[in-house]
Structure 1
Amino acid sequence: MKKITLGTSNVEAGEIALGCMRMDKLSKTEAAKVIENALEVGVDLFDHADIYGKGMSEEVFADALEFVSASRDQLILQTKCGIRNGFFDFSKEHIIDSVEGSLRRLKTDYIDILLLHRPDALMEPEEVAEAFTKLKKSGKVQYFGVSNQNPMQIERLKKYLDQDLIINQLQLSLMHTPMIDAGFNVNMANAPAIVRDSNILDYSQLHQMTVQAWSPFQYGMIEGVFIGNEQYPEVNVKLTEIAEKKGVSESAIAIAWILRHPARMQPVVGSMNPDRLKEIAKASNVKLTREEWYELYRAAGNKLP
């Protein structure tokens, strides 16, 4: 699998990451097979969050590593914090407590990357900065990033930070493209799409933040999988047509569509099926033409000006 450099860091990772949200549903041996298979195909960044399975996903992952022939430095462990029961919390105390909990559950001395999970309207950036500095100096977190944040939220936070924010994790799939749509509809009356995220994709490229695309097979706001879904015949016909031409699965083409973008995004796939992950990983070796990329975009129901 091809590698990408994450943001302004010196961390090189496979260009596809594995989201471990559903790992709490697996046994230790099942999870070990998923991890081993991921590493075999070049997927080495494992995305967690303190809320996944109420912490169980991190625990199962750590227990599974006892059956995996990989050293800690072969793994890039990323976790997220900030979502609590019914509210968001970017307080210094919660960030530090969350990291300590993740370290215990993951049975590791350090987290490679920590992301703030969802924007906290009550964020006091000075507190976040204090938490990040303490975690960095102690060696408990190597790098930092955010998730689901717009440019001004990021700029407000960066004003107080000593560390770069190397990642922004954002929802993107072939059937969920708001951060791409508005770019086609500039200075138009009655435009079919408007800017809702303050040009986060352009901002990320300008500031060398890696966009991690979450839910790359979902439509709407995580309403379901679009591949093979009879509600979306046109996009599925086009996916199958290109998949057969390239000799890969429709899922691989859906990921290749994201990888084709010059932002060098890193899709985060959540499959706990080793065989399916092998098929998805083949996307790294598929280069869609410009025409194929636009054919898929239009087949997803989008119209160009």
Structure 2
Amino acid sequence: MERVQLAEDVSLSRIVHGMWRLNDWGYSNAEVVDFIEDCLDLGVTSFDHADIYGNYTVEEKFGEALTLKPSLREKIEIVTKCGIKLISSNRPEHKIKYYDTGKEHIIQSAERSLINFQTDYIDVLLIHRPDPMMDPSEVAEAFTQLKREGKVKRFGVSNFAPSQFKLLNSYLDEPLVTNQIEIAATHLEHFEKGTIEQCQMDRISPMAWSPLGGGSIFTSTDDNVSRVRNVLEKIQGETGATSMDQVLYAWLLTHPAKIIPIVGSGKIERVKSAVSSLNIELSKQQWFEILEASKGKEVD
């Protein structure tokens, strides 16, 4: 599989697997190992996490699975996120949902993630959401310490606007390596607000969460979604794709920003389908047909 080089010491598979809903899949630890190995067989080596996933339990479950076959750790890349504090029975000290990007919390979160994953290092640590109280100097100090101690290789952000990304980057000794944002044919926000262009300007590849639009493309009766679905079905026939989701992934993969889609399904057949989309080539006209359908008008 094609790989994307985020930095000299970290690369990700072009398709990343997201573990957000791991608890919903009902897998035993042995079945998680089997799933990881099935992904590796497809060339998917990168797995996306966050400390809050599964009510603060998914990281630990993934780590328990890795202990059944420790050799898997050196074959995969772990991406995880921190900075959101949820109201949770597993965090009774949180009285409201809020953000914390202070130095102490970032370091504590990273160290807890290391314990959860039962590993010595995290490949990429992301700040999960923009924090209106963020002190970029504190974030920089936390990143520097975690890097110096060998606990995290590289750092990035998630859901940051271009100005927020630029602000934090200006305080760092080593630049951010990615911005994980919501990108889909039915979600054009980051094409319209300049986030994609900013990623290209900084020579970084954005990670795309919810690349299928949360599955609405298959069920929604909204006019916008129906227009896109009709075009996807047309292009599916033209390209020989086996499903609409392959065309959706291909739409992202075709873009020169080297967008990295995150697949969130616990069904290996869906992962195979996403990987197969790497072989689908959309013409520029087909790409713009999907864009036009999503906008509901031709480009200006």
What TM-score do the two structures reach when normalised by structure 1?
0.87
Residue 159 of structure 1 deviates from its aligned partner by 2.4
Residue 24 of structure 1 deviates from its aligned partner by 2.2
Matches of 1:143 and 1:69, distance apart in 2: 22
Aligned 8 A contact 2:67 2:118 in 1: no
Please give the per-residue CA displacement for 1:8-37, whole angstroms capped at 9, x wherever unaligned.
444232111111101123322332232122
Q: 1:93 aligns with which of 104, 114, 123?
A: 104
Correspondence 1:276 to 2:270: yes
**Could you tell me which residue of structure 2 aligns to residue 52 of structure 1?**
53
Q: 1:237 aligns with which of 203, 213, 230?
A: 230
Question: Higher mean Cα deviation, 77-86 or 231-240?
Answer: 231-240
Question: Higher mean Cα deviation, 293-302 or 64-73?
Answer: 64-73
Please give the per-residue CA displacement for 1:129-172, whole angstroms capped at 9, x wherever unaligned.
11111100110000000111122212221222112100001111
Matches of 1:276 and 1:299, distance apart in 2: 25
After superposition, the Cα gap between the structure-2 partners of 1:300 and 1:163, relative to the gap in structure 1 and judged at 3 Å, is same
**Could you tell me which residue of structure 1 aligns to residue 283 of structure 2?**
289
Correspondence 1:215 to 2:210: yes
Matches of 1:257 and 1:302, distance apart in 2: 17
Amino acid across the alignment from 1:274: I
Residue 4 of structure 1 deviates from its aligned partner by 1.7
Q: 1:138 aligns with which of 122, 138, 149?
A: 149
Aligned 8 A contact 1:36 1:68 in 2: no
Relative to total residues, which structure has the larger helix share, 1 or 2?
2
Amino acid across the alignment from 1:2: E
Matches of 1:287 and 1:69, distance apart in 2: 38
Aligned 8 A contact 1:248 1:282 in 2: no
Q: 2:199 aligns with which of 195, 204, 220?
A: 204
What TM-score do the two structures reach when normalised by structure 2?
0.89
- State the Cα RMSD in Å: 1.8
Matches of 2:291 and 2:170, distance apart in 1: 37
Aligned 8 A contact 1:90 1:128 in 2: yes
How many residues end up aligned between the 2 structures?
Answer: 284
- Counterparts of 1:1-305 in structure 2, within 5 Å, are 1-6=1-6, 8-25=7-24, 26-27=26-27, 28-67=29-68, 70-85=71-86, 86-180=97-191, 182=192, 197=193, 199-218=194-213, 225-231=216-222, 232-244=225-237, 245-303=239-297, 304-305=299-300
Amino acid across the alignment from 2:216: V
Matches of 1:67 and 1:278, distance apart in 2: 24
Aligned 8 A contact 1:19 1:48 in 2: yes
Q: Which segments of 5 or more consecutive residues in structure 1 lack a partner in the other structure?
A: 183-196
For residue 57 of structure 2, give the secondary structure of its aligned residue in structure 1: helix
After superposition, the Cα gap between the structure-2 partners of 1:96 and 1:286, relative to the gap in structure 1 and judged at 3 Å, is same
Higher relative contact order (CA 8 A, sep 6+): 1
Q: Which segments of 5 or more consecutive residues in structure 2 lack a partner in the other structure?
A: 87-96
Matches of 2:264 and 2:158, distance apart in 1: 16
The percentage of counterpart residues that share the same residue type is 38
Aligned 8 A contact 1:22 1:270 in 2: yes
Residue 65 of structure 1 deviates from its aligned partner by 2.5
